[in-house]
């Protein structure tokens, strides 16, 4: 009987030591920053050269939405701009005749002014000449005002055409589907030849070179964690097999939440926990959704 009790006691002590020395403080799931690439224009997808698992670089063009109608509208605007330019009046030619008449009237006015001063002509002839100069001057001013108004209107129409052309060129650029970030293609939602609308998801990309483990810690553990802190992260492959990585704490939640059912904390009595993220450089063995553990290192 005593031997049985001694063996049971030894077993409990070994179990307690194993739980205490498990080598990690919290568990979680590996995640990556995911980016959803969506269509920015509506039309038929003429090409879409990407497959799940492909590594892509930021700025790489992976698809093209039909540009025919946008291109035709742009050509129409370019033609309209040429028409507006041809309608602009030649101010100097249109006012040349009036200027010539005004110059002749001013010469007559000066001649009559001299004759009246010498008493060789009546004052009425000078008044008539002066009146003629004033009439021609008003005609010239009216012509210039009309020409300026016409030029201003045509210039405004040209400016509006330029804005519309820039909008169309921007839309044409958005028909070219480009990857905004470096990453790995996780999911592909459409195929070449499909009709897509603005906002339709096309492909999901994740930066798998820099993964992070989202783990949950209790309030008691929170006092030992700070941003930038170096930690030990383990990728759990099951059956006791795991890989160790050097990581750092990049984010600590400012509010508590209930323990997710898939997460085991060191203190199972704690219903409220805090989420933390530990950044880890990926060597290709860490996969999204894989379980992992984190061991908090004390400051030296």
Buried-state track 245-282, b at ≥16 Cβ within 10 A, e below 16: bebebeeeeeebeebeeebebbeeebeebbbbbbbbeb
Q: Which one, of 232, 223, 179, 190, lies nearest residue 59 by Cα?
A: 179
Q: How far apart are CA 251 and CA 127, in angstroms?
A: 92
CA dist., res. 102 & res. 223, Å (int)? 94
Residues 56-90: pLDDT tens digits?
999 999 999 999 999 999 999 999 999 988 888 88
Q: In what order do the strands lie in the sheet with 34-38?
A: 34-38, 201-206, 183-188, 55-56
Whether 102 has a pLDDT exceeding 50, the answer reads yes
CATH homologous superfamily for the domain 23-35+207-296: Efflux pump adaptor protein, beta barrel domain (2.40.30.170)
Q: Which residue has the higher pLDDT, 117 or 252?
A: 252
- What is the tens place of the pLDDT at every residue in 230-271? 999 999 888 888 899 999 999 999 888 876 655 555 554 456
HSE-CB of 16 using CA atoms within 13 angstroms: 6
**Alpha-carbon distances, residue 271 vs 20, 111, 224, 274 (angstroms):** 21, 110, 19, 10
Q: What pairing do the DSSP bridges indicate for beta strands 257-258 and 61-65?
A: unpaired
Q: List Cβ neighbours of 236 (8 Å cut-off, separation of 6 or more).
A: 242, 290, 291, 292, 293
Q: Which segments of 21-122 does DSSP mark as H helices, in order?
A: 68-86, 91-94, 96-118
Q: Is the pLDDT of residue 298 over 50?
A: no
Name residues whose C-beta falls within 8 Å of residue 182's C-beta, 6 or more positions apart in sequence.
56, 57, 58, 207, 209
Nearest C-alpha neighbor of 34 from the set 288, 214, 273: 288
What pTM does this model have?
A: 0.68
Give the Cα separation of 174 and 14 in Å (integer): 64
pLDDT value at 274 more than 80: yes
Is-contact 235 243, C-beta < 8 A?
yes
Question: Domain spans of the chain?
Answer: 23-35+207-296, 40-65+180-199, 68-174
């Amino acid at each position: 009987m005593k031997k049985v009790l001694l063996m049971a006691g030894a077993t409990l002590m070994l179990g307690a030591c194993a739980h205490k020395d498990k080598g990690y403080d919290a568990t979680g799931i590996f995640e990556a920053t995911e980016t959803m690439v969506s269509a920015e224009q509506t039309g038929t997808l003429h090409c879409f050269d990407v497959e799940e698992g492909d590594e892509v670089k930021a700025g790489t063009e992976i698809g093209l939405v039909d540009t025919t109608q946008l291109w035709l509208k742009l050509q129409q605007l370019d033609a309209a701009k040429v028409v507006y330019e041809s309608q602009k009046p030649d101010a100097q030619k249109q006012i040349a005749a009036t200027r010539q008449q005004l110059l002749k009237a001013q010469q007559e006015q000066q001649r009559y002014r001299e004759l009246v001063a010498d008493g060789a002509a009546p004052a009425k002839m000078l008044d008539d000449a002066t009146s003629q100069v004033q009439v021609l001057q008003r005609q010239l001013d009216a012509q210039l005002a009309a020409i300026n108004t016409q030029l201003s209107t045509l210039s405004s129409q040209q400016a509006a055409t330029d804005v519309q052309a820039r909008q169309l060129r921007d839309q044409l650029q958005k028909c070219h589907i480009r990857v905004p970030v470096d990453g790995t293609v996780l999911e592909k939602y459409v195929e070449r030849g499909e009709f897509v609308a603005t906002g339709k998801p096309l492909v999901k990309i994740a930066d798998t070179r820099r993964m992070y483990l989202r783990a949950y810690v209790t309030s008691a553990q929170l006092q030992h964690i700070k941003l930038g802190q170096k930690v030990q992260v383990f990728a759990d492959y099951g059956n006791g097999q795991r890989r160790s990585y050097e990581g750092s704490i990049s984010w600590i939640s400012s509010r508590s939440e209930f323990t997710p059912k898939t997460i085991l904390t060191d203190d199972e009595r704690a219903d409220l926990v805090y989420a933390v993220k530990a950044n880890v450089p990926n060597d290709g063995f860490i996969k999204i959704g894989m379980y992992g553990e984190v061991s908090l290192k004390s400051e030296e």
